[in-house]
C-alpha cells in the first residue's frame, strides 16, 4: 500500500517561524506582563542547546502518513503542548528532567503511531439514532442555558467574563455542559458541514454562542473558530502541516502588536498566555511537587474508587499544587495536561501509560477514517487535543467528551464513503504537501 508522507524540508521553516515567534512573545510580552504569576525570564543557554537537540530528534520522528487522522491530531498536540513547554524550559530555567521525560513520552507516541495501523470498527447504519442525538443536543443545551439564568450581560465585556463563571455547578450538569460544548457541538458542526446542510451548521453555531453568553467560557467560541479553520484547510487541500504553525505564528505576531500599541491584551491572554505558557508552567509545578511528595497512584478518579486506592491529600490535587506554589491562602484549582498528570499518578511510568492510552484513541480514530472523510474526523477531534493540554486523559475521556466524540464518530453515518468531492479535496491536500 502506498503511504503518502510529509516532507520535513517543507514544514521545518514554518515550525521554526512558529517557534521563533513563541520565544519572542514570551520574552517581550508574556513574561513582562505576567511575571507576577512566576512566568519570569531566567535564560539558561546550556538547557537551550539540550532543548533544541530534543526538538530536532522529535521532529525527525514525526508521523508522516497524511492519510491517517492521527498524524494531524498528534501534530496539534506537538504544536500546543510540546513546543511551548520545550522553549519555556530554558527561558525560565526549569528542571531539565521533566522535559526529558516529556520527550520520551512524545517519542513513544510517535513510534507507536508509526508502528501500528488503525483499529477498524463496524456498526449498522444509524441515521435515525444520529437525528435523535441532534435533538437531545439541542434540548440539553437550551435547558442548560435556561437553568443558568439565560444570557449573562457580563459575557459581553471581556474584562468581566471571568466573574460569569463564578458559582457554575459541577457534577452532572457540569458534565452535560462539557459534552454539549466540547463533544456534540464540534461533531455536529463537522458532520453538517460535510453534508452541506448550512442551516443546521448555523443552528450549532448559534447554540454554541448561547452557551458562551450564558456560561462565559471563551473556549466555546474558540472551538467553533478552530473547527471552521481546520475544516476549510482540509476540504480545500491547503497544506495543514505548514498552515497550522504559520497560523499560530500569525496569532503571536498579532498578539504582540496589539499589546505593544495598547489595542488589546485579549489575543495575548487567550493564546500565548492561556493556551501555551500557563499549561507549560503548570506541568513543571506538578513535576516539582511530585518529585518530593507522594504520587497519586490513580487514587483521584474512577480507578481509585474502583480499586479502593486511598487518596493521600485533603483537597483536590490542583488546589494542593497551587498552594505549594503560591501559598496556603491561595485557593484555586490548577489543572494540568495529560503528561504532567501522568507523572503525578506514578512518575515517568504514568507519563508513558498516558501516551499508550492516547495512541489507543488515535488508532480507533484512524480506523474510522476508512469510512468517514478525513476532514470530518480531524475537525471533530481537533478541539479535544487542546483540552488534553489542560486535563487528565481519563477525565478527558469521560467528562471532557473525548469518549463521546469517538462514539459519535463510530455511529455517524458509517456507510459514508469518500465521494468524488472528497477524493478531489484529498488529492489536492496530498499534492500540496508533496509539491
Q: Calculate mean pLDDT across residues 129-139.
A: 85
Give the length of the chain: 435
Domain boundaries, the chain: 8-122+229-434, 127-220
Q: Among 60-64, 314-318, 367-371, where is mean pLDDT lowest?
A: 367-371
Cα–Cα distances in angstroms (integers) from residue 407 to residues 86, 104, 133, 364, 380, in the given order: 33, 30, 11, 10, 12
pLDDT digits (tens, 9 = 90+) for 226-258: 778 887 777 665 588 998 999 999 999 999 999
pTM of the model: 0.87
R_g over Cα of the chain: 21
The Cα–Cα gap between 349 and 327 comes to 29
E strand intervals along 106-183: none
Whether residue 8 has pLDDT greater than 90: no
Residue whose C-alpha cell reads 464518530 in the numeric block: 409
Asked if residues 142 and 207 have their Cβ atoms less than 8 Å apart, the reply is: yes
Q: What are phi and psi of 121, to 5 degrees?
A: -130, 145
pLDDT digits 0-9 by tens, 194-228: 788 889 989 999 999 899 888 887 777 777 777 78
pLDDT digits (tens, 9 = 90+) for 334-362: 889 999 999 999 999 999 999 999 999 99
Q: What average pLDDT does this structure show over 21-35?
A: 96
Distance CA 133, CA 128 (A): 9
Bigger pLDDT: 71 vs 397: 71
Position 75 confidence tier, pLDDT thresholds 50, 70, 90: very high
Neighbours of 278 (CB within 10 A): 22
pLDDT greater than 90 at residue 97:
yes
pLDDT at position 355 is: 96
Of 182 and 357, the one with more pLDDT:
357
Task: Output the nine-digit C-alpha cell for 256.
Answer: 504582540
**C-alpha dihedral sign at 72, 412, 219, 334:** negative
Structure confidence by residue, pLDDT tens digits, 257-268: 999 999 988 889
Q: Which three cell numbers stand for residue 326?
A: 503560591
pLDDT-derived band of residue 418, with 50, 70 and 90 as boundaries?
very low
Confidence bin at 424 (pLDDT 50/70/90): very low
Determine what percent of the chain is predicted with pLDDT higher than 90. 45
Give the CA angle between residues 343, 99, 78 to the nearest 5°. Answer: 95
Amino acid at each position: 500500500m502506498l503511504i503518502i508522507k510529509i516532507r520535513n524540508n517543507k514544514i521545518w521553516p514554518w515550525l521554526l517561524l512558529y517557534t521563533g515567534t513563541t520565544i519572542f512573545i514570551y520574552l517581550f510580552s508574556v513574561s513582562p506582563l505576567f511575571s507576577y504569576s512566576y512566568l519570569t525570564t531566567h535564560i539558561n543557554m546550556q538547557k537551550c542547546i539540550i532543548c533544541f537537540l530534543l526538538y530536532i530528534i522529535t521532529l525527525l520522528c514525526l508521523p508522516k502518513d497524511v492519510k491517517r487522522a492521527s498524524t494531524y491530531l498528534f501534530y496539534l498536540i506537538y504544536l500546543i503542548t510540546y513546543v511551548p513547554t520545550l522553549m519555556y524550559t530554558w527561558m525560565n530555567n526549569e528542571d531539565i528532567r521533566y522535559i526529558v521525560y516529556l520527550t520520551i513520552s512524545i517519542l513513544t507516541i510517535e513510534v507507536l503511531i508509526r508502528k501500528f495501523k488503525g483499529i477498524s470498527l463496524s456498526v449498522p447504519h444509524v441515521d435515525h439514532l444520529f437525528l435523535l442525538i441532534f435533538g437531545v443536543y439541542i434540548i440539553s443545551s437550551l435547558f442548560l442555558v435556561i437553568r443558568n439564568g439565560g444570557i449573562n450581560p457580563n459575557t459581553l465585556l471581556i474584562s468581566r467574563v471571568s466573574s460569569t463563571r463564578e458559582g457554575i455547578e459541577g457534577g452532572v450538569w457540569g458534565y452535560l455542559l462539557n459534552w454539549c460544548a466540547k463533544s456534540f457541538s464540534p461533531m455536529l458542526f463537522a458532520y453538517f458541514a460535510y453534508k452541506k446542510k448550512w442551516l443546521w451548521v448555523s443552528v450549532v453555531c448559534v447554540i454554541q454562542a448561547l452557551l458562551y453568553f450564558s456560561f462565559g467560557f471563551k473556549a466555546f467560541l474558540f472551538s467553533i473558530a478552530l473547527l471552521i479553520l481546520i475544516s476549510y484547510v482540509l476540504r480545500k487541500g491547503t497544506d495543514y502541516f505548514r498552515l497550522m504553525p504559520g497560523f499560530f505564528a500569525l496569532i503571536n505576531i498579532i498578539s504582540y502588536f496589539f499589546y505593544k500599541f495598547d489595542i488589546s491584551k485579549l489575543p495575548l491572554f487567550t493564546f500565548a498566555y492561556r493556551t501555551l505558557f500557563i499549561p507549560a508552567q503548570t506541568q513543571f509545578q506538578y513535576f516539582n511537587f511530585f518529585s518530593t511528595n507522594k504520587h497519586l497512584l490513580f487514587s483521584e478518579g474512577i480507578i481509585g474508587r474502583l480499586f479502593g486506592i486511598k487518596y493521600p491529600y485533603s483537597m483536590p490535587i490542583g488546589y494542593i499544587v497551587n498552594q505549594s506554589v503560591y501559598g496556603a491562602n491561595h485557593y484555586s484549582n490548577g489543572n494540568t495536561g495529560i503528561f504532567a498528570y501522568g507523572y503525578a499518578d506514578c512518575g515517568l511510568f504514568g507519563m508513558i501509560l498516558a501516551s499508550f492510552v492516547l495512541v489507543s484513541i488515535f488508532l480507533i480514530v484512524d480506523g474510522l477514517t476508512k469510512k468517514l472523510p478525513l476532514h470530518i474526523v480531524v475537525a471533530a477531534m481537533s478541539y479535544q487535543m487542546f483540552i488534553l493540554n489542560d486535563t487528565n486523559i481519563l477525565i478527558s475521556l469521560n467528562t471532557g467528551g473525548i469518549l463521546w466524540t469517538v462514539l459519535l464518530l463510530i455511529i455517524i453515518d458509517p456507510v459514508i464513503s469518500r465521494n468524488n468531492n472528497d477524493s478531489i479535496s484529498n488529492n489536492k491536500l496530498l499534492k500540496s504537501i508533496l509539491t
